[in-house]
Amino acid sequence: MLPIQRRQAILAEVREADAVSADELARRFGVSLETIRRDLRGLRDRGLLERVYGGALSVRSTEGTFAARSTLHSDRKLAIARLAATLVGPEDTIVIDVGTTALEVARALPASFRGRVLTNSVPAAMELAAREEIELLLCGGQVRPGDAACSGAHAESFFAEFYADKAFLGSGGVHAEAGLTDYHPPEVITRRTIIAHSTASYVLADSSKLGAIAVHRVCPLSRVTAVLTDHEASAEIAGALARAGCTLMQASEPALSQAG
């Protein structure tokens, strides 16, 4: 088998199983462990998998459109947003990040909230624009189509000028070893700035994102205060996150749609 064929086969194995052992791959393909390690490093450098101790994990290289994601797991996202809203003090300065669950947080802010909202999400800003009791600040920067997310040097310098009480962060994946990951490099950099300038950082991740790895790493889980998720998080993944030192806060149940 040619090296390029072996690497394609390794990638297929990772995508099929989500996680593979370097030792098992070496036995399967009849090559040395160092050869497999070189293969894995090369695939990692191309953003096709995530290297972990002893092997590799699959990564997600793209996410769906904003419109498609808005209808996916909507009850879970609403439950997470309501949990997030309970953490907000009446006069807090908070950051609402980009993403469909973050937008639900903007909608869930209680009427008693009269603080300051910093955001890089145009949809979140539009949601809150009519609330005169809130001081609303939208960062500048390049606007990504679909999500209407702002990023770039303007966004980074904007968030570097503030210190927030709490930040509510979007996510592409949350994994015990890979940490917090996402898809868009400029937004990853902005998110790191937000985390560095927030007293508490809460990751918004419905249970489908737990154990998943998006293509770009934001930070280790030790850098965030807690991950907010829904009641369907599996005990196995929750245990792995806990062993990694991650605090997991679960909404008690999904919000039920109102019958007409």
- Is the same domain home to 131 and 164? yes
Q: Is residue 255 part of a domain?
A: no
Neighbours of 199 (CB within 10 A): 12
Reference 31, options 12, 59, 10, 57; nearest CA is 10
pLDDT in the model for residue 260: 38
User: E strands of the chain, at which residues?
Assistant: 19-21, 49-52, 55-58, 93-96, 116-119, 135-138, 142-144, 149-151, 164-169, 173-175, 179-182, 198-204, 216-219, 226-229, 248-250
Give the pLDDT band of residue 41 (cuts 50, 70, 90).
confident
Is-contact 94 167, C-beta < 8 A? yes
Q: Distance between CA atoms of 36 and 7, rounded to whole angstroms?
A: 9
Residue 99 has pLDDT above 80, yes or no: yes
**Domain check: are 54 and 70 in the same one?**
no
Domain end residue (candidates: 34, 58, 82): 58
Judged against a pLDDT cut of 90, whether residue 8 lies above it is answered with no
Q: In angstroms, how far is the first alpha carbon of the chain from the final one?
A: 62
Rounded mean pLDDT, 166-182:
92
Q: What is the CATH number of the domain that holds 96?
A: 3.40.50.1360
- What digits encode the pLDDT tens for the residues 106-115? 999 999 999 9
Residue 259 lies inside a defined structural domain of this protein: no
Residues 33-42 as b/e (b if ≥16 CB within 10 A, e otherwise) read eebbbebbee
List the domain range (segments joined by +) for residue 8.
3-58
| Alpha carbons 176 and 210: distance in angstroms, whole number | 9
The answer on 89 and 19 residing in a single domain is no
What is the model's pLDDT at position 63? Answer: 56
Identity of the highest mean pLDDT range in 23-27, 148-152, 198-202: 198-202
Segment 200-220 shows an average pLDDT of: 91
Give the percent of the chain with pLDDT over 90: 58
Q: Is 234 within a domain?
A: yes
φ and ψ of 121, to 5 deg: -110, 115
Residue 202 located in a structural domain:
yes
Residue 206 · residue 166 · CB < 8 Å: no
Domain assignment of residue 29, yes or no: yes
Please indicate, yes or no, whether the overall pTM of this predicted structure exceeds 0.85.
no
Q: CB under 8 Å to 155, separation ≥6 — which residues?
A: 120, 139, 140, 141, 186, 190
Residues 44 and 140 in one domain: no
Residue 195: strand, helix, or coil: helix
In a shared domain, residues 22 and 150: no
pLDDT digits (tens, 9 = 90+) for 233-255: 888 889 989 999 999 999 987 54
Query: 78 with 197, same domain?
Result: yes
Q: How many structural domains comprise the chain? A: 2
Are 38 and 161 members of one domain? Answer: no
- Looking at the fold, whether 100 and 123 belong to one and the same domain comes out as yes
Q: Residue 94 has which token pair?
A: 């908070």
Q: What is the separation of C-alpha 148 from the centre of its chain, rounded to a whole number of angstroms?
A: 17
Shared domain for 89 and 9, answered yes or no, is no
Residues 163 and 42 grouped into a single domain: no
